Amino acid sequence: MIKGAKKSKDELIEPLLSNEVSLPNPYFDARREWNERYGAYIARAKNWRIMAFISGLTAVFAVMGLVAISFQNKIVPYVVEVDSLGNAQAVKPATEASLADERVVRAYLGRFITDFRTISTDLTQEKATLYRLYAMLPQGSPALHKMNEYFEENSPFAKAASQTVTVDISNILPLTDKTWQVEWVETTRNLQGALLEGQRHFKASISIAHNPPTNEKQILINPLGVYVTDINWTQVVG
């Protein structure tokens, strides 16, 4: 280029557009100062708001979970094994109750028949026996239906106004792992204690099921979860 030659328009503008040239601008300077001074504060405040919102949601879900758990009553019974002196030898949760011992089933079925057929003048005792009886009858089972029909026609409270009936269990035998036969003798007396008729012999075929208890109420009335699902009984003549 010839010294002293006149520069073109592009050559005059190019330095103004380069990064090496910085023209003073009060607006941009103020904006930059604002961003440097308060921008970090605003960003941090926004981040804290987001974190507070997430923490709040977490707390809400945690509280909802605790409330849901609080409504789930779960009682785990424990079996404590003791020696001859009463000292604890082993402790373990009874997560699965076992019915391997037939003596337990016999005891339950004997009590069931006794509660079913006994008639007492003590109304409080009579109510207690019926309560135990129905505690062993599952909802919707044939046994429950048959018991309801029987007591509709044979109210123990009405019979207790003139007589009492005692039950003597004579035999309880397993027919299968789920079916048992129970035999018993009934003695009927009037309110003065005199025999109304001779002893009567009965037998019943009982189907059972095992359903371990899941709450405190079931543990108190049927701790091993032995239930009568079906029953058929008849008087033995001769």
DSSP of 50-101: HHHHHHHHHHHHHHHHHHHHHT------EEEEE-TTS-EEEEEE-SS-----
From CA 2, how far away is CA 8, in angstroms rounded? 13
pTM higher than 0.75: no
For residue 54, give its domain range: 40-70
What pLDDT is stored for residue 65 in this prediction? 77
Most confident of 2-6, 74-78, 171-175: 171-175
Q: How many domains does the chain have?
A: 2
What pLDDT is stored for residue 165 in this prediction? 94
Residues 119 and 61 in one domain: no
What pLDDT is stored for residue 110 in this prediction? 94
Domain membership flag for residue 84: no
Question: Which has more confidence, 69 or 207?
Answer: 207
Write the pLDDT tens digit of every residue in 205-216.
999 998 888 777
Residues 60 and 112 in one domain: no
What is the pLDDT confidence band of residue 204, given thresholds at 50, 70 and 90? very high
- The lowest-confidence range among 10-24, 76-90, 97-111, 188-202 is 10-24
Domain membership flag for residue 214: yes
Residues 155 and 220 in one domain: yes
Give the CATH number, domain containing residue 156.
3.10.450.230
Residues 60 and 133 in one domain: no
Mean pLDDT, range 150-176, rounded to an integer: 94
Residues 141 and 186 in one domain: yes
Domain membership flag for residue 33: no
Residues 59 and 154 in one domain: no
